[in-house]
C-alpha cells in the first residue's frame, strides 16, 4: 500500500521538528519510533518521550487513512542522506515500511501504532498568551545557558516562566549565576508560573525559526502547550519551588561602567586560552580608566588583557569562572554591556544599557 509520495524536504522538515525528543535507547522500544498517521484528510507526524510530546503536519497524501510507527532516527538519517529534491515514496505492507527514492530502496521495521503511548493532555487552559517567535526566541537565548545540568536540585534543571499582568519573565539559574529576561505581552493575566524542563526549552528554541510568526503559549494543569509553525509541543512541568530571583539581584553595586560587548568577549576568549583547565578562573582588576583580565595555570603561564573604560571609581579585584562571563556575552546581542561591581565577595550585575528587561548575576569565586 503506497501511503505517501513527496519531495524529500517536505517529509524531512516535519520529521526533524519532532525527532529531537526521541531517545535512541529506551526501556520502551516503541518510544524510539515516530508515529505517522493520516486521518480527516491530514497527515500528522508525532513523537514523545512521555515527558514531552511534539506533533506536526506532514506532507499531503491521497492515500486512505493509516497509522504506522517506525524508527525515527533511521528514517531521518535515510532522508538526510538522499539527494536534495529526491522524490520519496513510502510503501507499507506486512509490518514493513519500504522507502524508495530513485534507485535507492530501504526496508524498515514497524511496530503496531495502537501500542504507541500518547501523553494525556489536560483540557483546561489556565492561562494563555501569544507573542512573536522572534521575541520569545531572543528571551530564551538570553537565559537558557544558565540552566543547571543534572543538578540534584531538580527544579534548577529547567527554566522559570512567569506571567503577571502584561509581563512575561524567564529566569534560569544553576546556583552560581542567574539570567533574567522580561517582555511585555498583549494580555492581562493573573500571576502564574511554571518550571519548563531543560529538554523542552532546548527543543522549543530549535522550533522557533520563523521570526515574524506568532507562538501561542497555554498553561494547563501540570503541563504547558506551545503552538507554532503547524507544530504543537506539550510538556510536563517540573514540580518544585523555584528560588526567589528578586532576592539575588544586587541593588547597590556602585562600581558601574559600560564597554563594548565584543571587545570584552574577545579579551576573555584570548585570556581563557591560558586559564586553569580545571577551575577556569579569571581575575578582573578594576582601576580608574582600566579593566584588566588575568588568567594563569599550573604551568606558570599567564595571560593579561587590558581594556580602556570610562570609569573613575575605586579599585577592585575579583575572581570569576571565566566560562560564566563568556556565556552571557555570547548570548546577549547588544553593542555594549554594563557591569556593576560591589566588592570582591559580592555578585556582579550585567545589564544592557537603557534596557531594564535583561539582568545577569554572577557570583565571584576564590582564585
Q: What count of other Cβ atoms lies within 10 Å of the Cβ of residue 248?
A: 17
71-82 per-residue burial string, b: 16 or more CB within 10 A, e: under 16: bbebbbebbeeb
pTM of the entire predicted model: 0.94
User: What pLDDT shows up at residue 63?
Assistant: 87
User: Which region, left, alpha or beta, applies to residue 172 given φ > 0 means left and ψ of -120 to 50 means alpha?
Assistant: beta
Contacts of 233 (CB under 8 A, 6+ apart): 52, 53, 54, 200, 203, 204, 207, 225, 226, 227
Sequence length of the chain is 367
Instruction: Confirm if 11 and 58 have CB atoms less than 8 A apart.
Output: yes
| Range list of H helices, the chain | 8-19, 72-81, 133-143, 198-207, 261-272, 322-331
Identify the H or E element spanning 163: strand 158-173
- Report pLDDT for 367: 81
Cell of 48: 514523545
> Which ranges of the chain have pLDDT less than 70?
none
Q: Note the pLDDT of residue 40.
A: 87
Q: What residue ranges define each of the domains in the chain, with the CATH number in brackets? A: 2-115 (3.10.150.10), 125-247 (3.10.150.10), 255-362 (3.10.150.10)
What pLDDT, on the 0 to 100 scale, is given for residue 290?
98
Spatial distance between the Cα atoms of 286 and 312, rounded to a whole number of angstroms: 10
Question: How far is the C-alpha of 367 from the C-alpha of 299, rounded, in Å?
Answer: 16
Instruction: Give the pLDDT confidence of 46-76 residue by residue, as tens digits.
Output: 999 999 999 999 998 888 999 999 999 999 9
Backbone angles phi, psi at 131, to 5 degrees: -150, 165
Amino acid at each position: 500500500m503506497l501511503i505517501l509520495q513527496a519531495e524529500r524536504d517536505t517529509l524531512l522538515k516535519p520529521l526533524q521538528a519532532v525527532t529531537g525528543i526521541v531517545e535512541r535507547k529506551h526501556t520502551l522500544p516503541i518510544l524510539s519510533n515516530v508515529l505517522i498517521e493520516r486521518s480527516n484528510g491530514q497527515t500528522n507526524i508525532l513523537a514523545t518521550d512521555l515527558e514531552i510530546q511534539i506533533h506536526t503536519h506532514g506532507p499531503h497524501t491521497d492515500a486512505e487513512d493509516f497509522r504506522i510507527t517506525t524508527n525515527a532516527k533511521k528514517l531521518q538519517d535515510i532522508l538526510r542522506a538522499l539527494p536534495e529534491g529526491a522524490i520519496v515514496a513510502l510503501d507499507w505492507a506486512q509490518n514493513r515500511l519500504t522507502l524508495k527514492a530513485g534507485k535507492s530502496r530501504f526496508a524498515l521495521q514497524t511496530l503496531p501504532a495502537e501500542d504507541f503511548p500518547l501523553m494525556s493532555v489536560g483540557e483546561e487552559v489556565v492561562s494563555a498568551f501569544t507573542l512573536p517567535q522572534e521575541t520569545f526566541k531572543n528571551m530564551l537565548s538570553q537565559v537558557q545557558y544558565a540552566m543547571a545540568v543534572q543538578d540534584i536540585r531538580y527544579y534548577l534543571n529547567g527554566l522559570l516562566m512567569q506571567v503577571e499582568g502584561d509581563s512575561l519573565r524567564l529566569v534560569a539559574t544553576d546556583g552560581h549565576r542567574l539570567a533574567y529576561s522580561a517582555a511585555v505581552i498583549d494580555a492581562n493575566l493573573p500571576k502564574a508560573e511554571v518550571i519548563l524542563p531543560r529538554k523542552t526549552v532546548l527543543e522549543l528554541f530549535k522550533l522557533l525559526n520563523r521570526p515574524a510568526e506568532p507562538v501561542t503559549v497555554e498553561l494547563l494543569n501540570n503541563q504547558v502547550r506551545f503552538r507554532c509553525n503547524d507544530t504543537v509541543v506539550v510538556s510536563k512541568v517540573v514540580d518544585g519551588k523555584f528560588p526567589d530571583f528578586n532576592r539575588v539581584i544586587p541593588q547597590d553595586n556602585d562600581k558601574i561602567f559600560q564597554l563594548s560587548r565584543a571587545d570584552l568577549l574577545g579579551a576573555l576568549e584570548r585570556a581563557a586560552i591560558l586559564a586553569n583547565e580545571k577551575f577556569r578562573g579569571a581575575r578582573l582588576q578594576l582601576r580608574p580608566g582600566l579593566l584588566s583580565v588575568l588568567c594563569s595555570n599550573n604551568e606558570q603561564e599567564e595571560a593579561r588583557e587590558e581594556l580602556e573604560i570610562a570609569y573613575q571609581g575605586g579599585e577592585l579585584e575579583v575572581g570569576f569562572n571565566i566560562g560564566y562571563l563568556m556565556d552571557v556575552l555570547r548570548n546577549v546581542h547588544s553593542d555594549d554591556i554594563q557591569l556593576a561591581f560591589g566588592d570582591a565577595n559580592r555578585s556582579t550585575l550585567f545589564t544592557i544599557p537603557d534596557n531594564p528587561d535583561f539582568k545577569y548575576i554572577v557570583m565571584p569565586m576564590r582564585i
